Amino acid sequence: MARIGRFFGLSLLMATAALPAQAALTPAEKTMTRTVEADNAATVALLEQLVNVNSGSRNLPGVTKVGEMMKAQLAPLGFDVRWVPMQAAGRAGHIVATHKGNGRGKRLLLIGHLDTVFEPDSPFQRFALKDGNKAEGPGVGDDKGGMVVMLAALRAMKAAGTLAKADIEIVLTGDEEDVGDPVEVARADLIAAGKRADVALDFEGLVRDNGRDMGSIARRSSNSWTVRASGNSGHSSGIFSEKVGYGAVYELVRILDAFRRDLPETNLTYNIGLIAGGSTQTTDAEGIRMTATGKGNIIAPVAEARGDLRTLSQEQTERVKAKMAAIVAQHLHGTSAAIEFEKGGYPAMAPTEGNRAILAALNGVNKDLGLPEMPPLDPLKRGAGDVSFVANDVDSFAGMGPYSTGDHAPGETVDLSSIPLQAKRAAILMSRLAAEPHAKR
């Protein structure tokens, strides 16, 4: 602890010395910034503790343990914290925490997640300080870093007296990286919280583009699809004939090439991640491994491809799905094919005026902190996330967590100086939003 404290005391002093004077802040906001700075060593120490508990999405005891650790942090701040078990969706569960304020300000929903992509069999398991103001570890940015930013902001609000007036609900899902099934069960509590809120803030990572902090007012959807093709088998000398036709592999290739040529449009991507075909073809129950057998002189009767589809609106999703289905239906002679879209998935978070208003408010905070304005991020540069499940019901903003690199891979690294920076932004923004009148319903 002492070593961490000395390290971050020096680096935080260097980081804050470069900022302009914060003359535009209120006395309470100045208290918040001082509290974040004073607590930073403890914040990073907590991050280390969280990271060192494996909480891969399918490690149910590990996710539960991290949930217990977060409950121990939230309860002393005045939150009523409950654990929502998710055995019905094949996952550990979620933390749902509520704080009752004066009932007059905007009702805030804070979103984060307890789990990581690193399961117990991953070689990447421990927190480690790196050269400079960085640390690496599983979930050090995504999203254990986001959770400690959230906690640091809430502690600063408590110290300044603004938390007492704030109506806040927190949902920390235990399966953001691998959503439980059925998704309607796995996301029921989050969706319900979104319907109660006026503003949703997602504490996944900050995005920087060419060194500039960006504001995430939109996130694209993430949906999965499978195309299965079939055809007549026989000796390869009969390929293309009236009797045999083209075989399953040519049919599948026709479909995928038509996707490439005919589907492109703004904000749309569609990837093919897995493909196999032959005399036999099988896919495992998880949909991540395929096997095939065959010979070059045998026409393949079966073939399968799996991929994803990302859009910026539900309207775009449905329109593109219809175009894909129409392409699949145009079979080559002697073949058939069908496309299946996986149920669930992540919806899109469209760039609404309400979302832009949150970014404008955050840029007011940036101005008063002496920080540069944050432009809106191109949604092509951000993946899907839990905030999208509530974005149709509430004004939403993503990226309140720290800046990190290499997420979802061994070597995931967080910029530790971004933790107090984001905590200050969050504390002041939440305090200001909580002081605005809530929407009448």
Per-residue model confidence (pLDDT) at position 440: 62
Per-residue model confidence (pLDDT) at position 297: 97
CA distances to 33, 34, 38, 40, 94 from 421, in Å: 9, 12, 13, 10, 27
Judged by DSSP in three states, 157 sits in helix
Question: Using an 8 Å Cβ cutoff, are 199 and 369 in contact?
Answer: no
362, with CB counted inside 10 A (0-12, 13-18, 19+), is buried
CA distances to 165, 323, 409 from 105, in Å: 8, 45, 40
DSSP 197-242: -SEEEE-S-BEEETTEEEBB--B--BEEEEEEEEE--EEGGGTT-T
What is d(CA 319, CA 338) in angstroms, rounded to the nearest whole number?
17
Per-residue model confidence (pLDDT) at position 17: 42
Please tell me the pTM assigned to this model: 0.87
- Domains defined along the chain, listed by start: 2-219+347-434 (3.40.630.10), 223-341 (3.30.70.360)
Q: Mean pLDDT for each consecutive 10-residue tract of the chain (441 residues)?
A: 40 45 83 98 98 97 98 98 97 98 96 97 96 94 98 98 98 96 95 98 97 96 96 97 97 98 96 98 93 98 97 94 98 98 89 97 98 96 92 97 96 98 98 90 55
Q: Is the peptide bond before 61 cis (omega within 30 degrees of 0)?
A: no
Question: Using an 8 Å Cβ cutoff, are 191 and 393 in contact?
Answer: yes
What is d(CA 156, CA 421) in angstroms, rounded to the nearest whole number?
13
